Amino acid sequence: MKIIAVCGMGIGTSVLLKMNIDQALDNLGLEGDVEAADISSARGAAASADLVMTSAELVEQLGDIDTPVIVVDNFVDQAEVQEKLQQGLEL
């Protein structure tokens, strides 16, 4: 399973989100590869991913992609990240 955490630059907020997705996967007992990506490389990265997670502001800029996209409001709320992850993966 591959999940992309998207932010504008790929160094700040997506890194925090990636860390929390890693933790959520761990909590759920799932194996997964989580990658932080900036908005310009996210479309390409998303093509080979199972799920994209990002903020409401960046969804529009991602444009039309075939991979499911889940919006996270609070990147550091472990409970929300885990819930959205389950929702996105239809667990």
Partner 1 sequence: MSNDVLPVSAIRFKAEAADWREAITISGDLLVASGATTDEYTEAMVKTVEELGPYMVIAPGFALAHSRPSEAVKRTGLSWVTLAEPVEFGSQANDPVDLVVGLAALDHDSHIQVMSKLAGVLANAEVLAQLRASTDPEEIRAALLGD
Chain residues in the site for partner 1 (CB under 8 A):
7-13, 15-17, 19-20, 36, 38-39, 54-58, 61, 73-78
Nearer Cβ to partner 1, position 7 or 85?
Answer: 7
| CA–CA gap between residue 57 and residue 50 (Å, rounded) | 21
Q: Minimum distance from CB of 48 to partner 1 (Å)?
A: 19
Q: Minimum distance from CB of 16 to partner 1 (Å)?
A: 5
- For 91, residues 6+ apart whose C-beta sits below 8 A from its C-beta are 28, 85
Q: How far, in Å, are 30, 43, 65, 91 from residue 86 at the CA level?
A: 11, 22, 20, 5
Q: Minimum distance from CB of 20 to partner 1 (Å)?
A: 7
Nearer Cβ to partner 1, position 33 or 57?
Answer: 57
Nearer Cβ to partner 1, position 17 or 49?
Answer: 17
Residue 35's beta-bridge partner residues? 4
Nearer Cβ to partner 1, position 17 or 46?
Answer: 17
Q: What are phi and psi of 81, to 5 degrees?
A: -60, -45
